[in-house]
Chain A
């Protein structure tokens, strides 16, 4: 079920990480992701683990909650581990049937597993501790420099925020239309693929019609409330850096420096 996916859901709690400026969290996440790719040894991963573990503990998000989010990617994880395990050439450790596991394979596969796990956990820490609004605000402000390259940053952020607001509404609507068509004898559970695809037409058309109607209504309502793009707009809750944000930046840079050093000297 869709609601089992905790990946990316906001987890309300009172923690320093929750209170950090979203730009810091975005930057921190980016640094963390990059660091995972510049590392080529286990010492680097140990350092990354320290960083991640500290972040998780400080964030007060229960580990079990984060783990539940991993359920969604478990297949991806197993798949990539298996591929790497069996497909890497090198010194054979075990072999059976047509497959063989190599020393290098074990090495690469475990690297891969750690990388994916850390990647997902690192980015979920960000989404778990940041409300979607805050996140869009952070993106808008944090990527503001892209405006000089004529990237419509404000518009993209506004679109994201509207999408986030309407996703639950459209999900509910999908459920309702599905039920209404089922009441007219529609069969959404047919085994045959062609039939199944065809059965989606009575669901998708009303859904599109409704989405367009909503979009139209919303555009009118936004205009009626004087919306005319990002120009001249003020913010109700402007983002302002605090002391703790500066400190967080320092820690992030220190971590990045540490990772680079590890790569150079080990």
Chain B
């Protein structure tokens, strides 16, 4: 069920003096079961790009293929696409509208035309996946805490049982605890459902820990598409783009510059500690 993005370009306000290119001739392929981090700062085009993956935006030129078929050729059912490629927008809690948590999560599967039983089953599973306890099911979603609201909103997309889950800055505005909990549940979702995850973020630290592939966007173009370690090798360039590398990777570069013989392809604190101890013992 791979997704292929082929020479995709998207312009805002086409044909007006305010025209601007948001995505510029971008091509890449998403394979089954990947965990991709899509990084770029505000205005780099990453949010616009992901809205093409489920057909919410139509490219100005270029195409998107899902499972080998062109998504925008007219007879492709976009509803089916949207159930297969779940897109969680930024601040997804702003989309909650039902009187209770459970009905809100049912909205997605209900729109797919599933039976009541199947709908409820899926909603239940989705809520469990993101760690919402039964006690909250019949509360108003508006009475929950910020972190809980966001989980419920994500469950609303998960309940459609997408094969690809795309999340646009899911941790924005959460505190460190909320952020860690959320990222951890995403990892669990991936393990339990085997879905592909595309995580859009501007935090290198978040993505480094979970993604097995990182795509970096800058000025509407893809500049790097590689494993985290390989992407972080472009230390200077990433810094220039205002993105940087994880703090610990940066520290390893500084140590190396100061004459310590440490590797620089390190992205977690534990690995850093091991590497430093190794040279210190020698």
A and B touch in the complex (CB under 8 A): yes
| Interface residues of A, Cβ cutoff 8 Å to B | 3, 173, 176-177, 179-187, 201-202, 205-206, 209-210
Q: Complex Cα distance A45/B79, Å?
A: 57
User: B56 contacts which of A177, A179, A205 (Cβ < 8 Å)?
Assistant: A179
**New A-B contacts (6) at CB < 8 Å, excluding given A202-B97, A209-B94, A209-B97:** A173-B94, A182-B82, A183-B56, A183-B82, A206-B95, A210-B94
* CB-based nearest B residue for A209: B142
B89 proximal to A (CB < 8 A): yes
B84 CB to closest chain A CB, in angstroms? 11
Q: Complex Cα distance A186/B157, Å?
A: 12
Asked if B51 and A179 sit within 8 Å, CB to CB, the answer is yes
Asked if A186 and B54 sit within 8 Å, CB to CB, the answer is no
Provide the residues of chain B in CB contact with A186, threshold 8 Å: 107, 111
Asked if A184 and B142 sit within 8 Å, CB to CB, the answer is no
Provide the residues of chain B in CB contact with A205, threshold 8 Å: 97
* CB-based nearest A residue for B109: A185
Interface residues of chain A: helix, strand, loop or mixed (majority) = helix
Q: Complex Cα distance A184/B112, Å?
A: 9
Provide the residues of chain B in CB contact with A202, threshold 8 Å: 95, 97, 107
| Interface residues of B, Cβ cutoff 8 Å to A | 13, 16, 51, 54, 56, 79, 82-83, 86-90, 92, 94-97, 107-108, 111-112, 142, 156-157, 160
Q: Complex Cα distance A245/B69, Å?
A: 66
* CB-based nearest B residue for A181: B95
Q: Complex Cα distance A187/B113, Å?
A: 12
Asked if B83 and A180 sit within 8 Å, CB to CB, the answer is no
Q: Complex Cα distance A106/B86, Å?
A: 60
* CB-based nearest B residue for A4: B16
Q: Complex Cα distance A179/B55, Å?
A: 10
Asked if A176 and B89 sit within 8 Å, CB to CB, the answer is yes
Asked if A183 and B89 sit within 8 Å, CB to CB, the answer is yes
User: A185 contacts which of B92, B97, B112 (Cβ < 8 Å)?
Assistant: B112
Known: A176-B94, A205-B97, A206-B95. A184 touches B107 (CB 8 A): yes
Known: A183-B54, A185-B112. A206 touches B96 (CB 8 A): yes
Provide the residues of chain A in CB contact with B156, threshold 8 Å: 184
Asked if B97 and A206 sit within 8 Å, CB to CB, the answer is yes
User: B79 contacts which of A173, A179, A185, A201 (Cβ < 8 Å)?
Assistant: A185
Q: List 18 A-B contacts (CB under 8 A).
A: A3-B16, A176-B90, A176-B94, A180-B92, A182-B56, A182-B82, A183-B87, A183-B88, A183-B157, A184-B160, A185-B82, A185-B108, A185-B112, A187-B111, A206-B95, A206-B96, A209-B97, A210-B94
* CB-based nearest B residue for A182: B56
Provide the residues of chain A in CB contact with B83, threshold 8 Å: 185
